[in-house]
Amino acid sequence: MSDTLQPVSISPRPGLAKASRPPLAADVARKAIRAAEVALLDERRMLTADELAELAHVPDSAVPSLAALAHEVRLSWCGPEVEVEGILSAKTGGCPEDCHFCSQSAAFDTPVKATPFLDTEEVLAAARETAELGASEFCIVLAVRGPDERTMGRILELVPLVKAETGLNVAVSAGILTADQAQRLGEGGVHRYNHNLETAASFFPRVVTTHDYAERLETCELVRANGMELCCGALLGMGESVDQRLELIEQLRSVEPAEVPLNFLNPRPGTPLGEAPIVEALEAIRWIAMFRLGLPSVILRYAGGREITLRELQIMGMTSGINALIVGNYLTTLGRTPDEDLQMLDDLKMPIGVLGKVI
């Protein structure tokens, strides 16, 4: 028996994204990180796809260095403020789409019971809760393919009410939009519209079959064309490869989002991805940093799955490029307490502020 210390596995090995090449040698990784620093902080230019691919393959031991650079880039390109948001599932479950990660799809037998659009007072109460937590943004989320006319009416009624009562910027997530709907939402005061790409175009058909990537891209374009800020997020950990994560970063660049919420898969019982392994904590830090380095000026938001993925490393994520977070609970799952997140920001001396292009 060797007396050399060996790594001891204390839990099942979480899922790692499949890489198309081996990790860089330590000295090569160090040079790649230095080159990225010069590009982003001195030359103030975006990294090329090849430069990002190099960084995605630094060894695990270099991830803290990658994260430190991402934090500097965040401060340099976005400033010190952190944006806090609350979200509400205002119409839960019964969605006709088959997004394989989602417990709200009617295609899967999950514990989430479909419920109708909440009444106005319930939405306002949730908005007030959000405002009391120091947030500046409140997102009304609906589990629909796209809004029908009745839903449009409710959204257009709620947005000014929430704004007037709480002073919060109001975001909406209601699926695929037509040009007319996008125009009406823009004119109706929607500050930001959420429509995630979720994953790379090349992987998308593996997780959604009821609509295609082009439809998502079209809605993203309509959002920006109608004066709303685009919130366009990612969900990591569905089985996509490293190359597909890089592909996603390029696709996100092309839709020019104001905000990118970064989700990690929280496997939901009853969904096709219900038994998928969770993303490893250091892997999550690597990709938080990668998204910041690839999208230096966006609002990069901590979103779903961070609690189970990062556990004690959540604070490290905040110094790896994140500059926004969803506070409190999510749509159908719970977050850690708002007090824990607010204490974390206080400990890090990160001021809460309003970010984005339109305030």
Partner 1 sequence: MAVSGEAGTGPGADAHCTSCGRPAADCAGCARTLDPPHYCATCGTRLAVRVSPGGWVGRCKHHGEVARS
Q: Which residues bind partner 1 (CB under 8 A)?
A: 86-89, 92, 111-113, 115, 118, 122, 125-126, 129-130, 132-133, 135, 266, 269, 307-308, 327-336, 338
Q: Residue 335 CB, nearest distance to partner 1 (Å)?
A: 7
Q: What are phi and psi of 101, to 5 degrees?
A: -95, -5
Give the C-alpha distances (Å, rounded to integers) separating 124 from 62, 260, 327.
46, 25, 17
The nearer residue to partner 1, 196 or 332, going by C-beta atoms, is 332
User: For residue 257, how many other CB atoms are within 10 A of its CB?
Assistant: 26
The nearer residue to partner 1, 112 or 252, going by C-beta atoms, is 112
Q: Residue 186 CB, nearest distance to partner 1 (Å)?
A: 25
What's the DSSP call for residue 107?
A: T
The nearer residue to partner 1, 291 or 330, going by C-beta atoms, is 330
Q: Residue 314 CB, nearest distance to partner 1 (Å)?
A: 13
Helix, strand or coil, per DSSP, at residue 120: helix
- Both structure tokens of 320: 């790896």
Q: Residue 79 CB, nearest distance to partner 1 (Å)?
A: 25
What is the rounded CA–CA span in Å between residue 259 and residue 185? Answer: 18
Q: Residue 210 CB, nearest distance to partner 1 (Å)?
A: 24
Give the C-alpha distances (Å, rounded to integers) separating 125 from 51, 90, 145, 223, 242.
47, 12, 26, 27, 41
The nearer residue to partner 1, 112 or 355, going by C-beta atoms, is 112
Q: Residue 294 CB, nearest distance to partner 1 (Å)?
A: 29
Q: Residue 36 CB, nearest distance to partner 1 (Å)?
A: 35
Helix, strand or coil, per DSSP, at residue 37: helix
Give every CB contact of residue 191 below 8 A, 6+ residues apart in sequence: 137, 169, 170, 171, 228, 229, 356, 358
The nearer residue to partner 1, 4 or 11, going by C-beta atoms, is 11
The nearer residue to partner 1, 68 or 133, going by C-beta atoms, is 133
Give the chain's count of helices (H) and strands (E). Answer: 13, 9
- Both structure tokens of 133: 């937590």
The nearer residue to partner 1, 73 or 331, going by C-beta atoms, is 331
